[in-house]
Structure 1
Amino acid sequence: MGNEYVSKTPASEEKLLQQRFMVWVYRWMTLGLALTAVIAMLVFYNKTLLTYISNSNWIFMGMILAELAVVFILSFNIQRMSISMAIIMFLLYSILNGFTVSVIISLYTAASVGYTLFIAALMFGIMSIYGYFTQKDLTRFGNLLTMGLIGLIIAFIINIIWFNSTVYWILSIVGVLIFVGLTAFDTQRLKQIGESATPGEASMKLGVIGALTLYLDFINIFFLLLGMSARRS
């Protein structure tokens, strides 16, 4: 895999380097999502395991905390890792998230999950394409969206304590708008990284982080849309 990136040249191969970087990002994002889907389906159809996880709040919360730990470690220690370790950590996160997804989708009908998945994929795809091809600088919007995301997390935590269904709907809508915006911003940022990427492991590790970023954008759009669905099983 290390030969996937050619030496950086002033102009002639810069576009090719960028394209290879983005292919690397989307490849791992897609593999991560596919792995999550496979694990989620395996657990979903294993009713004994699904019931065990669903009925144990400690196990479910432990998995969520483990996911957060993996994201934290991967994000803040990427420079110290080998490319192999970075990929293993990303795939580990995808597997753990598969268990979480299986529990969540079990609360909804198959039709609702399928429809929501289609809409989430469509929204993500459109905004990622926009982020890649637009000539508009999205940096300012990215900063606003990041601040909005922090506020959204705080608001969701407060609403968990004093739950209000109307507030939940409003927050979910705002959340979807934030993450579709972040999808465009993150795609453009990754494209810019690809333009100035240097060959070797450093670029490949940045690509893994990029894959994780887009993965999280997509999965959050899906979760927020699904949470707005009234079609529970």
Structure 2
Amino acid sequence: MAEFDTIRSAAGTQTAQIDEGLRAHMSKVYGTMSVGMLITFAAAWAISNLAVTADPSGAVAQLSADKYLTSLGYAIYGSPLKWVIMFAPLLFVFGLSAAINRMSAATAQLVFYVFAAVMGLSISSIFLVFTGESIIQVFLVTAIAFAGLSLYGYTTKRDLGPMGTFLIMGLIGLIIASVVNIFLASSAMTFAISVIGVLIFAGLTAYDTQKIKNTYLAHAHSGDSEWLGKAAIMGALSLYLDFINMFMMLLQLFGNRE
């Protein structure tokens, strides 16, 4: 009996250590993601301010009645460079995913933060297109929805794996439709992409959260802190992309334009 109690006590201690490690892992995931979000929106706001001037004398192009594009603004939004800026975040994601195993955790985290700044450059036009008030409102709505969906993914006992396969297939179709619509510029297609996109990224938020949790639990016994550190960064990248894309889709649907 004493031996059984000892085994049970050891098992309970091990479970408590795994639970504590999981909480620390998830805190690192959300913390890294949050810093990335801060970098993105700070970069987007700063770049949008540098791209616009109220003085027509040094302007390159007129944006509205009292706003003009600077040479930097025209290079970002009006020149062929805009295509590079548009697709640069996607290349970063593929590059980081492919090279993560050859990087240290510290290097991967630095690359993630550089990616977040590039994403800020890519979406900086939202501050020229939408009112600041509507951007804040949509951001708060996105944050509340994201928190609820991520909490569901963390706590649910349901296996979301099958749903994830369907969502990833939908995401691929969404990316293709978005690229096609760049050239078609169809408002109806934009609306459809935004509605479907919100649903896809809402589902992916729950799915990715559960996947991050399960990945940690599957490797908690390995003791490889370097690998777990890189797993946390890739988890932060997944949730960051879910948040940013859900925010952009909701902004297209509900944002008030300048």
Q: Using structure 2 for the length normalisation, give the TM-score.
A: 0.81
Report the number of matched residues: 225
CA spacing shift, 1:38–1:15, aligned 2, 3 Å? same
Contact 1:22 1:207 in 2 (8 A): yes
CA distance in 2, matches of 1:44, 1:191: 37
SS in 1 for 2:124: helix
1:60 deviates by 2.3
Q: Is the 8 A contact 1:142 1:182 kept in 2?
A: yes
1:27 to 13, 21, 31: 31
**Aligned-partner SS, 1:13:** helix
Residue 203 (1) aligns with residue 228 (2): yes
Within-5 A mapping of 1:49-198: 51-197=73-219, 198=222
Q: Any stretches of 5+ residues in structure 2 without a counterpart?
A: 1-12, 53-69
* Paired letter, 2:179: I
- Contact 1:50/1:102, CA 8 A, preserved across alignment: no
Once the two structures are TM-superposed, the CA of residue 19 in structure 1 deviates from its matched residue by 1.1
Question: Which gives a bigger RCO, structure 1 or 2 (Cα 8 Å, sep 6+)?
Answer: 1
Cα distance in 1 for residues equivalent to 2:18 and 2:25: 11
Bigger radius of gyration among the two:
2
Matched position secondary structure for 1:228: helix
Report % sequence identity. Answer: 36
Q: Tell me by how many angstroms 1:170 deviates.
A: 1.7
Q: C-alpha displacement at 1:57, in angstroms?
A: 3.4
Gaps of 5+ in 1: 1-8
The 8 Å contact of residues 53 and 103 in structure 1, kept in 2 or not, is answered as no
Segments of 4+ moved more than 6 angstroms: none
| The 10-residue stretch of structure 1 (154-163 or 28-37) with the greater mean CA deviation from structure 2 | 154-163
AA aligned to 1:27 is G
